[in-house]
Structure 1
Amino acid sequence: MSNVFVIDSYYKPLNPVHPARARLLLTQGKAAVYRRYPFTIVLKRVVEQPEVQALRLKLDPGSKTTGIALVNDANGTIVFAAELSHRGDAVKDSLESRRGVRRLRRHRKTRYRKPRFKNRRRRKGWLPPSLESRLANILTWVARLCRYAPIAAISQELVKFDMQLMENPDRTGVEYQQGTLQGYEVREYLLEKWERTCAYCGKQDVPLQVEHIHPRANGGTNRISNLTLACEPCNTAKGTQEIEVFLKKKPDVLKRLLAQVKKPLKDASAVNSTRFALLERLKAVGLPVECGSGGLTKYNRTTRGLPKTHWLDAACVGKSTPGVLSHKGVVPLRMKATGHGRRQMCVPDKYGFPKQHKERKKKFLGYQTGDMVKAITPKGTFEGRIAIRHRPSFRLGKVDIHPKYLRCVHRSDGYEYIQKGVRHAPPHGSSQGSPHGAIL
């Protein structure tokens, strides 16, 4: 697994250590557990003049998942890796649901709520809440990792695709546009757009070739809108035929292909909309920020012979990537943003009628829904996330447990954690929203 973060008694970050070393410090009583996710220990003494090795925090922002990696540039070791799943779609669905309820309430003429969409002014640099949520998730973990590890620099994948290079592949005068990186930009874009499948037969997990929809022999160009992906048999069978002739007996495939050509990349648009906003906020952290493109990331990953994963993509961001990356034994921490519950005081059913009332207080007896706890009871030992009730009987999995048996392991912080593929089922019957969670 990833290394364990270490801080001294003044909460200053030190060099991360191997899990075996951390276990020894805990056994000898020289350290205590400070945080469960990411696992951090605090020493019971102050380290005078520590020899700290600077680390680089690398980010591969995505629309749904962001890869995170801490890399030691001196020896190429990946110290920590994580994959952060965003909740942008859930935020958008919640806003749509709220808008529908308010619109229905106006139509019922029960309580009039005046529309306000015409008298609102958006500040400069405004982003939709679904995109703002993605930025907040990334910045939250950048701040946390800076508290637990000696980070000296940040690398960010700024652009997924170099659109200027793809639209003008024959332009001269710019040295990098004539290099091998251009092909990586084009192929990465096509793989993303055509979902890594053959456009003609739909095969996956086979070698794919760049194919001209309108053949070059008939006047077709190298513009990105004229390119697709095809397996070798389909590419050979099509030859210099027009797409309408080649797919004459497959009208459904032809219709789908022509529609896909004009289809925009929703996820790529989300990344492109937030890339510079994220860059400006990362600069505000006070650390030097390095930028790189998605094509450069793929180039670094393929030349080093690494598999395709979010956290390994993050480790390959930027020109500062070491020639050899050591990732043996690294198990990424998978984090999923779940939010901090809902502020609805009255939960409606699917028809809009109230069905459940919620208490105003989010905590009860020192616990709140989503806290990870360990309960040692006469019936056995249980671990997982709890769902509180405003009476001394909390829900843990499928059993009810009195708070006197509980010991808090990790406070609810709006994220679900999964590691080593082990996941505990979330509790049922939440009184403060739907909690999700996993523990080791």
Structure 2
Amino acid sequence: MSNFALIVDTNRRPLNPIHPAQARLLLKQRKASILRRFPFTIILKTASNAQTQPLEIKIDPGSKVTGLVLVTNSKVIWAAELTHRGAQIKAALLSRRQLRRNRRSRKTRYRKARFLNRTRPNGWLAPSLKHRVQTTLTWVNRLRRFAPVTAIAQELVKFDTQLMQDETISGPEYQSGTLAGYEIRSYLLEKFDRKCAYCGVEHVPFEIDHIIPRSKNGSDRPSNLCLSCHDCNQAKSNHPIQEFLADKPDVLKRLLALAKSPLRDAAAVNSTRWALFDALKATDLPITTGTGGRTRWNRFRFQLPKTHWIDAALVGAVETITLLTNRPLSIACNGHGTRQSCRTDRFGFPSRYVPQYKFVKGFQTGDLVKAVVTKGKKVGTYIGRCAVRSSGSFNISTKSGLIQGISHRYCQTVHSKDGYNYSF
């Protein structure tokens, strides 16, 4: 079942979300019109005094994907997964830095030194991390405009990355490992994608195995731990990893590289969790928190699969849960383009210039359009993102491929460009 439809009255007052069949009926009877496609929202043509039920937004923040759900009376009626673009931002900043460093070797005008006037205020976050907080807050505010939200719940999970890298930890509180009191099992599940590191089997009970056995001076550091099914764990026993995987050199190479991979995802979650909490707290809505361990316990208790939006629904104290949707809205952050006055080739030299005006015939690049071509060689119906041209002949990217040379006269805007890409 798809998400419930959000609904507002003619005065933009949020009402209780309704079943998709009810939304179709209201649209068919011309009692409502479509206000937004994503999230799907309809607007009544009359005012309404209907009583609203309280809704709660639940959030499962992640370094790459954040889960968002709307819950009322323990029923999940709307769900989405928000994919961040922190890696793209980091790559863009790296490219800009490399271009600027290249200027230092050129004979250009004198530039005053600026290394003493760049102070960072308290709570400063890198742009790639700040983006995660801002996009999540954007969608929380967007849902508040179209739904009667009265509370927020956020998962606050913590990975102690400093102790994860320190092999000199001692003391009774650390006898069970370097992450005692933290979510080491959850960390390994995320790191190894919930698969056995040796055979790749899924959906079985996993055990934590030492890559270098403790009998051969192997440590309890997370870089020496991996996920293993029971059979592989018993077969490996205390044999060296090179001997156990002698006939699987590709698996051995991948495992050793993955075991020593940096903890960037855990660091991203740690860096942004309190910044997101403070941003949500500024909305003046009651906010509750839950641990990652409790979310995982709830998931096992209700026998639900591991997805970001289901984890969001299981944040905090959950007595019962009913999923009235199984098709979450997939939201990918694309950004609003760049401010470059010209495009460059791979050497950094100008290759083409950007038009002065973004809009052509009422359309701009990135709009989701529907084109119904009635004559010519390209008769048909095409739905996708358009790339505008000053001539009025657009290109449309559809699921089946790129369609070039579609006149603006055949195009109709379905959803204006807003920096996100949507799918189910």
Q: TM-score range by the shorter chain?
A: 0.7 to 0.9
The CA deviation string for residues 312-343 of structure 1, in whole angstroms up to 9 with x for no partner, is: 11111112x242x2225431100100001111
1:203–1:399 Cα change, 3 Å: closer
1:60 and 1:317 in contact (8 A); partners too = yes
Counterpart position of 2:383: 383
Counterpart position of 1:436: none
Which residues in structure 2 correspond to 1:220-299 (within 5 Å)? 227-239=225-237, 263-299=261-297
1:378–1:218 Cα change, 3 Å: closer
The CA deviation string for residues 367-419 of structure 1, in whole angstroms up to 9 with x for no partner, is: 21111122333333332221112232222242323333332211100000012
Distance (whole Å) between structure 2 residues aligned to residue 217 and residue 353 of structure 1: 59
1:44 aligns with 2:48: no
1:102 and 1:113 in contact (8 A); partners too = no
Distance (whole Å) between structure 1 residues aligned to residue 322 and residue 171 of structure 2: 35
1:214–1:98 Cα change, 3 Å: closer
Q: Which runs of 5+ in 2 are unaligned?
A: 398-402
1:297 and 1:313 in contact (8 A); partners too = yes
1:219–1:386 Cα change, 3 Å: closer
TM (norm. structure 1) is: 0.82
Counterpart position of 1:374: 370
1:59 and 1:317 in contact (8 A); partners too = yes
Q: What displacement does 1:98 show?
A: 1.4
TM (norm. structure 2) is: 0.85
Counterpart position of 1:418: 423
1:160 and 1:295 in contact (8 A); partners too = no
Which residues in structure 2 correspond to 1:329-344 (within 5 Å)? 329-344=325-340
Q: Secondary structure at the match of 2:156?
A: strand
Q: What displacement does 1:250 show?
A: 8.6
Q: Secondary structure at the match of 1:368?
A: coil
Letter matched to residue 86 of structure 2: G
Q: Secondary structure at the match of 1:191?
A: helix
Q: What displacement does 1:97 show?
A: 1.1
Q: Which of 360, 366, 374 is the equivalent residue of 1:364?
A: 360
The number of aligned residues is: 405
Q: Secondary structure at the match of 2:18?
A: coil
Distance (whole Å) between structure 2 residues aligned to residue 258 and residue 348 of structure 1: 39
Counterpart position of 1:429: none
Distance (whole Å) between structure 2 residues aligned to residue 407 and residue 257 of structure 1: 51
Which residues in structure 2 correspond to 1:125-164 (within 5 Å)? 125-161=123-159
Counterpart position of 2:201: 204
Q: Which of 384, 407, 412 is the equivalent residue of 1:407?
A: 412
Which residues in structure 2 correspond to 1:112-191 (within 5 Å)? 116-161=114-159, 171=173, 185-191=183-189
2:365 and 2:385 in contact (8 A); partners too = yes
Counterpart position of 1:33: 34
Distance (whole Å) between structure 1 residues aligned to residue 171 and residue 356 of structure 2: 60
Distance (whole Å) between structure 1 residues aligned to residue 65 and residue 370 of structure 2: 30
1:83 and 1:332 in contact (8 A); partners too = yes
Identity value in percent: 51
1:4 and 1:40 in contact (8 A); partners too = yes
Counterpart position of 1:14: 15
When structure 1 is superposed on structure 2, of 399-408 and 285-294 the one drifting more is 399-408
Letter matched to residue 328 of structure 2: P
Letter matched to residue 77 of structure 1: K
Distance (whole Å) between structure 1 residues aligned to residue 348 and residue 156 of structure 2: 43
Distance (whole Å) between structure 2 residues aligned to residue 404 and residue 287 of structure 1: 46
2:8 and 2:43 in contact (8 A); partners too = yes
Q: What displacement does 1:352 show?
A: 1.5
1:238–1:404 Cα change, 3 Å: closer
1:106 and 1:113 in contact (8 A); partners too = no
Distance (whole Å) between structure 2 residues aligned to residue 260 and residue 386 of structure 1: 40
Distance (whole Å) between structure 1 residues aligned to residue 420 and residue 249 of structure 2: 46
